[in-house]
Structure 1
Amino acid sequence: MTNPQVVHNDSTPEYYFEERCHITEWWNSTDDEATSIARARVEPGITTRLHRLRGVTERYVMLEGTGRVMVDGRAPETVGPGDVVVIPPDASQRITNTGGGDLVFLAICTPRFRPAIYEDLEGGDPAA
């Protein structure tokens, strides 16, 4: 990416991802392989599927709600607005929404997220 730009995401659609969360891609471009930024939304009582991102560091920047995050076999930790969770490449991860409203966070990936790097660690039907 060589030119400055401003990206307006007013009309970027949210979609349901098999991980059990809703995603809005704020920035994910082949023009910038270094980084992607997505807004993730997890509904109350939902735990995302156990997964890992091959070769990608992911950072959760917590914006709204409360949750419990589990990373790479560590004890679960409570997270809320302002917290940052750093997830190394290939580390197993999942997050549970423990609050009464939506859990909302940014998922910042370096290098950028591509579906091919996502690995489900639960097996079985992702829709279940």
Structure 2
Amino acid sequence: MPIPSTLRRARDTVEFETAERCAIREISNTPDDPAVSIARARVAPGVTTAWHRLRDTAERYLIVSGQGVVEVGEGLRETVAAGDVVSIAPDTAQRIHNNGDCDLIFYAICTPRFTPDCYEAL
């Protein structure tokens, strides 16, 4: 089934705080486009998000601004900054720490789209 042609404006979305210790703005996450979701994440300075994983869902972080340290699984622990992309395989533990002086902003792009039932706190 093809996706409908639409325009979604970020300004029409509402940012909300999560138990994971980051703020999320769902930019595009609808049942009519089940292949992908896009969310803007914001992590405050000094904050580390909670360990979690997404069942059966791959995720990419596209870092927009700020800096941090991302941890993925047991093998990846890297500093990230604007322009970096972190690819996270389905079912893999992950978290990110903002080690800068300003908000760490990144897009979380999930395939298939993120749904609350795929989220697992660790």
Q: The TM-score by the shorter chain falls in which range?
A: over 0.9
Q: What TM-score does the superposition give when structure 1 sets the normalisation length? A: 0.92
Give the letter for the 2:57 counterpart. Answer: V
Shift of 1:75: 4.2
| Gap regions ≥5 residues in structure 1 | 122-128
**Secondary structure at the residue paired with 2:117?**
helix
Instruction: Give runs of ≥4 in structure 1 deviating > 6 Å.
Output: none
Given that 2:4 and 2:32 are in contact with CA atoms closer than 8 Å, whether structure 1 keeps it comes out as no
Q: From the superposition, tell whether residues 13 and 86 of structure 1 become closer, same or farther in structure 2 (CA, over 3 Å).
A: same
Q: Distance in 2 between matches of 1:52 and 1:92?
A: 5
Give the letter for the 2:52 counterpart. Answer: H
Question: Which residue does 1:30 correspond to in 2?
Answer: 31
Give the letter for the 1:94 counterpart. Answer: R
Q: From the superposition, tell whether residues 27 and 73 of structure 1 become closer, same or farther in structure 2 (CA, over 3 Å).
A: same
Q: What TM-score does the superposition give when structure 2 sets the normalisation length? A: 0.96
Give the letter for the 2:63 counterpart. Answer: M
Give the letter for the 1:33 counterpart. Answer: P
Aligned residues: 121
Shift of 1:8: 1.4
Shift of 1:9: 2.1
| Identity fraction in percent | 51
Given that 2:41 and 2:106 are in contact with CA atoms closer than 8 Å, whether structure 1 keeps it comes out as yes
